[in-house]
Structure 1
Amino acid sequence: MPTLDTTTPELSVIVVAADSGPSLRDCVDSVLACTTSLELLLIDNASSDGIPQAIARARENDARLRLIYNRTNLGFGPAVNRAAAQARGQNVLILNPDCLLQQAALRRLLEVLGAEPRAGLVGAVVCDARGVPDPASYRRDPVLQRALATLFKRDMDGVNFAGDMPDHPVEAEAVSGAVMLMPRRVFESLDGFDEKYFLHCEDLDLCRRVRDAGWRVLLAGDVRVSHGKGGSSRHRPVFVSYHKHRGMWRWFRKFDPAARKPLLAAAVWLGVWAHFLVQVPAQLWRLARQ
Structure 2
Amino acid sequence: MAKATVTAVIVSKGLESMLRDCTVALSDAIAVVDSRVEVRVVVVDNGSEQPYEIERLPGVNQVIRLDDGRSFSAASNLAARSEPSDLILLLNNDVFLHSDALVEMLDLISSPSVGVVGARLVFPDRTIQHCGVVMTPRGPHHDYRLMRTETVSRAPRFVPAVTGAAMLIRSELFRRLGGLSEEYNFGSEDIDFCLRARQEGFRIACAQAVDSVHLEGQTPGRISLDGPARLVFSQQWEGRYSVDGE
Q: TM-score, normalised by structure 2?
A: 0.84
Q: 1-side partners of 2:57 and 2:133: how far apart?
A: 37
| Mapping 1:210-249, distance limit 5 Å | 210-232=197-219, 235-236=220-221, 240-249=222-231
Cα contact 1:98–1:229 (8 A) shared by 2: yes
Cα contact 1:123–1:179 (8 A) shared by 2: yes
Partner residue, 2:106: 110
Partner residue, 2:194: 207
Deviant stretches of 4+, over 6 Å: none
Q: Which one has a larger percent helix, Structure 1 or Structure 2?
A: 1
Q: Which one has a larger percent strand, Structure 1 or Structure 2?
A: 2
Match of 1:160 among 136, 139, 142: 142
Q: 2-side partners of 1:112 and 1:18: how far apart?
A: 31
Cα contact 1:43–1:83 (8 A) shared by 2: yes
Unaligned runs of 5+ in 2: 241-246
Q: TM-score, normalised by structure 1?
A: 0.72
Partner residue, 1:99: 95
* SS in structure 2 at match of 1:176: coil
Query: Radius of gyration: which is bigger?
Result: 1
* SS in structure 2 at match of 1:175: coil
Shift of 1:21: 4.2
Shift of 1:177: 1.6
Aligned sequence identity (%):
23
| Mapping 1:1-290, distance limit 5 Å | 10-33=5-28, 34-35=30-31, 36=34, 37-50=38-51, 52-53=52-53, 56-58=54-56, 65-114=61-110, 116-134=111-129, 136-141=130-135, 145-147=137-139, 159-162=141-144, 164-232=151-219, 235-236=220-221, 240-257=222-239
In the TM superposition, what whole-angstrom CA distance separates every residue of 1:46-75 from its partner, at most 9, and x where no partner exists?
Answer: 11144x22xx13359x6x611101121111
Q: 1-side partners of 2:216 and 2:6: how far apart?
A: 25
Instruction: Report which structure shows greater RCO (CA 8 Å, sep ≥6).
Output: 2
* SS in structure 1 at match of 2:142: coil
RMSD: 2.3
Tell me the matched-pair count.
228
Unaligned runs of 5+ in 1: 1-6, 148-157, 259-290
Could you say if the C-alpha distance between residues 43 and 245 of structure 1 is closer, same or farther in structure 2, counting changes exceeding 3 Å? same
Q: 2-side partners of 1:218 and 1:196: how far apart?
A: 25
* SS in structure 2 at match of 1:231: coil
In the TM superposition, what whole-angstrom CA distance separates every residue of 1:129-153 from its partner, at most 9, and x where no partner exists?
Answer: 222211x4321235xx234xxxxxx
